[in-house]
Amino acid sequence: MEISSDLLGDLQAVLGPDGVILDPDVTSAYSRDMMPLAPSGRPLAVVMPVDTAQVSAVVRLCGAAGVPIVPRGAGSGLTGAANAVDGAITMVMTRMKAILEIDEGNRLAVVQPGVVNLDFRRAVEAKGLFYAPDPSSYDWCTIGGNLSTNAGGLCCVKYGVTTDAVLGLEVVLASGEILRTGRRTVKGVAGYDLTKLFVGSEGTLCVITEATLALRPTPAAPVTLVAAFGSPEDAGEAVSGAIRAGLVPSLLEIMDATCIRAVEAKNGAKLLGDGETPAALLLGQSDSGGALGRLEMEHLERVCVDAGATFAYVTDDLAEGRMLLQARRDVLNSLELYGTWLTDDVSVPRTAIAALISACEKISAQVGLTIGVVGHAGDGNMHPTIVYDASDEAQTKAAELAFGLMLDAGRALGGTVTGEHGVGRIKQDFLATEIGEIGIDVHRRIKNALDPGGLFNPGSMFAMQ
């Protein structure tokens, strides 16, 4: 399908010649996100609006022409939710990157969707404030993408996911109308919570053009704990023990032996000095400050030792803490040394973390591929990651099989098929199984009410039928 000359001319009139990209060698770079198995098409064109008025105009033009739109941020997603659709326009939001306001008195900020998460965090930190959501790709993912997938991060255990930091939105509806939702106040329960409806909707209901975000005071310098275990079961018991003890660390992460070895190989050094690689590693932090932060981590240290930790260490040295946490952030890049990585996203009850790791070990043996497990132990959101040779058809099929088997294992343990990455184009069948026919029907009714022409992100999250 070729873009009509009338629509092309109208888009260029709205966006300018540099705001509409047609060169297939360029548009192909916007065809998919970081999920290698999700289906993707070729964008009819890529458009790059710079403000809400342009977004609204593009939506009206495409709606009138019957041309769908796929909203897209930086492309850091892991479910194919931003993947291009044949015959559709890909709307890239990265030029809308202004921090419009930082209101220190009310501890909030107003931003456009193209702002990079880390850039925003640094801007508010300069004002003595803190934005909590911190996905592992925070150095390049955008706030708009975080909103669309309801992204999480390492700090979820204490501060929640993206939606917990959103006060209100400005969105463009399929009609081209501009809607403001939410509030700037601490409390507010007027009407349906439309803000939470749009957060996590993966571009299927609207295009997000602005967000009002809640900020917090800058946390104290963190105190960090690292604990090594001879088995995932002991590490899982430590997590359960921390919960029973009422501890709420600012982060609590787990790495299995496969992930630890990968990071050590990449860095050329043992994480904990010489000796045998542990079967599991827990990393915890407290940002409560001063003596209280150290007491919390020392309490967690005792919990770990009681659970069978073979090594436990608490430090308030910031450089040491950053080094340990960087090891956790380096897992995916480290696994990439061995082949293409395919990371899953499954949440289980925190008491079932060890059981999920064990299930992943069995799946690894079943399909004949390496699987490393890393995740947010504090909230049970785990990321089993498959390593395979993408040029080998048999290994690619094995990776796809393993991906589904791990989701099934998580569900069997009382979990859910996504904790923070979303559904996109890779988990539609799993979503349908999890929420059932009535749940899918309600999704379709909402979609039909807000986007009766199927303009936004067709084929993502669920099929309309």
One domain for residues 236 and 349: yes
Asked whether 130 and 114 are in contact (CB, 8 A), the reply is no
Any domain includes 17: yes
pTM of the model: 0.94
Structure tokens at 359: 């299930």
Asked whether 395 and 382 are in contact (CB, 8 A), the reply is no
* pLDDT for res 253: 96
One domain for residues 45 and 80: yes
- Of 404, 412, 353, 360, nearest in space to 382 by CA: 353
Domain boundary among 173, 201, 217: 217
Domain boundary among 41, 76, 92: 92
Q: Can you give the CATH number for the domain in which 45 is found?
A: 3.30.43.10
Per the structure, how many domains does the chain have? 4
pLDDT per residue of the chain (465 residues) written in tens, 0 to 9: 678 889 999 999 999 999 999 999 999 999 999 999 999 999 999 999 999 999 999 999 999 999 999 999 999 999 999 999 999 999 999 999 999 999 999 999 999 999 999 999 999 999 999 999 989 888 999 999 999 999 998 888 999 999 999 999 999 999 999 999 999 999 999 999 999 999 999 999 999 999 999 999 999 999 999 999 999 999 999 999 999 999 999 999 999 999 999 999 998 888 887 788 999 999 999 999 989 999 999 999 999 999 999 999 999 999 999 999 999 989 988 998 899 999 999 999 999 999 999 999 999 999 999 999 999 999 999 999 999 999 999 999 999 999 999 999 999 999 999 999 999 999 999 999 999 999 999 999 999 999 999 999 999 999 887
What is the domain extent for residue 331? 223-412
One domain for residues 340 and 231: yes
* pLDDT for res 2: 72
Asked whether 328 and 374 are in contact (CB, 8 A), the reply is yes
- In angstroms, the CA 423 to CA 227 distance is 33
Question: In which residue are the tokens 């240290």 written?
Answer: 301
Asked whether 169 and 147 are in contact (CB, 8 A), the reply is yes
One domain for residues 195 and 118: yes
- Of 3, 164, 161, 119, nearest in space to 68 by CA: 3
Q: Can you give the CATH number for the domain in which 298 is found?
A: 3.40.462.10
Element (H, E) at 58: helix 52-65
One domain for residues 127 and 211: yes
Structure tokens at 396: 């690619």
Asked whether 440 and 50 are in contact (CB, 8 A), the reply is no
One domain for residues 211 and 342: no
Any domain includes 421: no
Structure tokens at 362: 């069995």
pLDDT 10s digits, 38-63: 999 999 999 999 999 999 999 999 99
- In angstroms, the CA 26 to CA 249 distance is 44
- In angstroms, the CA 439 to CA 266 distance is 44
